[in-house]
Amino acid sequence: MTKIRRIVLAVVVLLLAISISSIARAQGHIVDVITVKGTINPVLVDYVKRGIEHAEDNNAQALIIQLDTPGGLDSAMRDIVQLIVNAHVPVIVYVSPAGARAASAGVFITIAAHIAVMAPNTAIGAAHPVSIGGDETQTQPTSAEDEKILNDAAAYIRSIAQAHGRNMDWAEKAVRESVSATEQEALDLNVIDMIAPDLPTLLTQLDGHQVTLLNGQTLTLQTKDVTVNQIPMGTIEKFLYVISDPNIAYILMSIAMLGIMAEIFNPGLIFPGVVGGICLLLSFYSLGVLPVNYAGVLLILLAFGLFIAEALTPGFGLLFGGGMVSLIAGSLLLFQGAPPLFHVDWWLIVLVIVLVAGGMGFIIQRAIKIHRKQATTGREELIGKTATVREALNPQGMVFFKGERWSAISENGEIKVGEEVTIKRLDGLTLYVTRKKS
């Protein structure tokens, strides 16, 4: 009986907890939190979109984006800004933890938030479009096209700042002059709304704060004793984010090249071919979301073709040399013109080139050796082998080779029974031989 009471009590407690959770959710006593750390790219766009939709569907008080980024792609940044501006739930961008930064694209995202917050010892700024010339220290446009890009970015950030009543002049300077500010400077300059050392303190400070959405709706945040719901990146999102890195994309492309070539030169191994094919598809995805220079991709593919041609038609190494030049040029051009954040580390390029050169050198050497090797099957294997005379050659007679008697013709005079001869050529079933030199 006691056991039954305990079970009933447990069920009641569980139902009560579910009921309280449902009521809290229905009344909006929830704040969703997502963490954006790293370069801004299309994978993060999908993550932010999922976070906003989750907050809207669950009637959350707000969505907090904990931000720490050195910048990223302009297109991805604009997508995130649009998601924040058009959200039907207050979006709070919180530059945290201590030591974090909102640089380049992160400035636009922070200023676009309904409420912008920074933790102590953080920084914001340097929003100059670094894709101009690929040099983030450059503050002056170098061409009419560059000036258009710079003016567009400046106008865009002024519009965002104006919509939220923030310092438009400083925002424009962040774009044109790459200025930066600490959290206290940003607060004094009216770039952000508050400073909070941690998430619990932020929730306390947000309580009673009013937010006006794009549709004109004004909401008063009630974040006291609110339930915090962390929304982490999913496994697939994490994986796609990891491979959406120029260094990883370059490594995947290199592994794909080596794996496929290993399968071509050694049919039936299967494993290298499977790994190479998977890496090739993953590299295509990575390159598809990165600011890649397709001239570099084509040069790397050309190197791949030249290596195969060298191995299949061995010559004097000209194809191999051309492949190495093409690989080096392609590696250097792969992300040419992209912001510095999306460049491949030079040491990785050197490492890959050395490994590819060594691997291809070994493969080509083996291929040349096989091509030059004496045939070991069929009638061609007789050439150069030694046979024994069984019937004197004057010039025609019989020789014995590997348990078989062959009709033979001497090419250098009479050869007596028992002498050894060298097979020079074959005509039908007749061997042409010469006396073996001692």
Selection from 61, 64, 73 nearest residue 36 by Cα: 64
* 35 strand-pairing partners: 66
What does the alpha-carbon distance between residue 437 and residue 357 come to, in Å, rounded to a whole number?
43
Strands 210-212 and 115-118, bridge-based pairing: unpaired
Residues near 229 by beta carbon (within 8 Å), at least 6 away in sequence:
30, 31, 32, 33, 58, 60
What does the alpha-carbon distance between residue 402 and residue 406 come to, in Å, rounded to a whole number?
10
- Residue of 19, 22, 143, 148 with catalytic role: 148
Selection from 19, 25, 17, 20 nearest residue 60 by Cα: 25
Per-residue CA distances from 427 to 6, 96, 302, 398, 421 (Å): 99, 85, 44, 15, 17
What does the alpha-carbon distance between residue 77 and residue 146 come to, in Å, rounded to a whole number?
19
Tokens of residue 195, six digits: 């400073």
- Residue of 96, 104, 283, 326 with catalytic role: 104
Selection from 150, 109, 114, 120 nearest residue 133 by Cα: 150
Asked about 148 being catalytic, the answer comes back as yes
Task: List phi, psi (to 5°) of 45.
Answer: -60, -45
Task: List phi, psi (to 5°) of 227.
Answer: -85, 125
Selection from 134, 67, 139, 141 nearest residue 105 by Cα: 67
Residues with catalytic function: 104, 148
